[in-house]
Amino acid sequence: MSKPFHFTFIVLFVFTFFVLGIVGRDRYYNCQEQLNNLNNKNCDKKWCSSECTRRRKGIATCIKGKTFSPCYCAYHCPKP
């Protein structure tokens, strides 16, 4: 009686971690993509935070860019 119960519990446990891992990884890579691609020449803080809130990927901040001009919006990405 106890063996099938333990087996089911382990399967559910592993499955839950697998699903959470996929969801977390997906969020991270989408966020990195935004960090790499999002280029806002006016560096409008209101636009930046509303865009971030809309996408629900993290906290957006305007950073003065050395490679981008004059600045760009970047996301504080969740850790992978």
- Note the pLDDT of residue 77: 47
- Amino acid letter, 57: K
| pLDDT average, residue stretch 53-69 | 50
Cβ contact 4:51 at 8 Å: no
> What's the whole-number average pLDDT of the chain?
54
Cα separations in angstroms, 62 against 13, 70, 78 = 40, 11, 17
pLDDT tens figures, 8-43? 877 776 666 555 555 544 544 455 455 554 554 445
Q: Which domain holds residue 18?
A: 2-76
Q: How many domains would you assign to the chain? A: 1
Question: pLDDT at residue 80 above 50?
Answer: no
H or E element: which one contains 62? Answer: strand 59-64
Question: pLDDT at residue 67 above 50?
Answer: no
Question: Helix, strand or coil for residue 76?
Answer: strand
pTM check: above 0.85:
no
